[in-house]
């Protein structure tokens, strides 16, 4: 897929990996729909987008409590189409299983699995008519291998891998591809919360001896959007941590 003038909707794209993807797609000539919970984009992010001559719209919505059919319609109507949907918004509420409250489970399953599921349903319905489209789900190596203290997050991210394969099989006949990315430890606000002891322990398990950068995940999303013959896959971006 040639990205120039394509429309890309990225959920949770005001910081971290989502922000890096918004910039990467804008640099490739795509029109980007940025989503976040705040009423407006920060002046700082606006300035970066403007310095890149990015074409973009901002669609504010807390996806954990938004009617996703309505959100999909609003997003679609901004440019009259969506060529690429990236289900990126995600949270974690880490606790050991025996101490995990129902709310910790429900909030993570809701934003990390239910929202991508129903947003994809609403957008793919529209993509079907175009006989073209790309969906990218942001999973995690935790969904492939598990991690102590993240049973809720692992369940949601593993769910996304299965969802990706089933949706890819259903949508392929209409020339719609569905893939997932499973990052390892990427340098963002999500990982900044980890203690130095945990970070040191993780670094020892990464053959490339460093955390990944958000733009390295963004480059993978660009590749998956552009390559017309990859579907149903989960691409691991983890510095060799889980090889």
| Ramachandran angles phi, psi of 199, nearest 5° | -60, -45
Q: Which residues bind ligand NAD (CB under 6 A)?
A: 11-12, 14-18, 35-37, 62-64, 88-91, 111, 138, 140, 183, 185-186, 188-191
Q: Which is nearer to ligand NAD, 5 or 201 (CB)?
A: 201
Residue 189 Cβ vs ligand NAD, minimum distance, rounded to whole Å: 4
For ligand NAD, the closer of residues 7 and 17 by Cβ is 17
Within 10 angstroms of residue 74's Cβ, the number of other Cβ atoms is 15
229 annotated active-site: no
Rounded Cα gap, residues 16 and 23, in angstroms: 11
Number of H helices, E strands in the chain: 10, 7
Closest distance of CB 93 from ligand NAD, Å: 11
- Tell me how far CA of residue 216 lies from CA of 27, 34, 46, 142, in angstroms: 15, 19, 22, 18
Catalytic residue among 58, 79, 153, 229: 153
Residue 210 makes CB contacts below 8 A (sequence gap 6+) with 203, 239
Q: By C-beta, is 126 or 145 nearer to ligand NAD?
A: 145
| Catalytically active residues, by annotation | 153
């Amino acid at each position: 897929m040639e990205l120039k003038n394509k429309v890309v909707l990225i959920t949770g794209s005001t910081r971290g990996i989502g922000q890096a993807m918004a910039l990467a797609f804008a640099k490739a000539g795509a029109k980007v729909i940025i989503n976040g919970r705040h009423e407006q984009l920060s002046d700082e992010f606006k300035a970066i987008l403007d310095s890149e001559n990015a074409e973009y719209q901002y669609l504010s919505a807390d996806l954990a409590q938004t009617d996703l059919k309505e959100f999909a319609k609003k997003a679609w109507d901004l440019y009259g189409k969506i060529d690429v949907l990236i289900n990126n918004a995600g949270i974690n509420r880490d606790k050991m299983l025996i101490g995990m409250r129902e709310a910790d489970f429900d909030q993570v399953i809701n934003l990390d699995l239910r929202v991508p599921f129903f947003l994809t349903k609403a957008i793919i319905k529209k993509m079907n008519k175009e006989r073209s489209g790309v969906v990218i789900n942001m999973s995690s190596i935790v969904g492939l291998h598990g991690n102590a203290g993240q049973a809720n997050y692992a369940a949601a991210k593993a769910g996304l891998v299965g969802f990706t394969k089933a949706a890819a099989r259903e949508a392929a006949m209409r020339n719609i591809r569905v893939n997932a990315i499973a990052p390892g430890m990427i340098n963002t606000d999500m990982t900044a919360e980890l203690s130095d002891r945990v970070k040191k322990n993780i670094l020892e398990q990464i053959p490339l001896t460093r955390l990944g950068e958000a733009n390295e995940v963004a480059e993978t999303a660009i590749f998956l959007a552009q390559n017309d013959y990859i579907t149903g896959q989960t691409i691991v971006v983890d510095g060799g941590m889980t090889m």
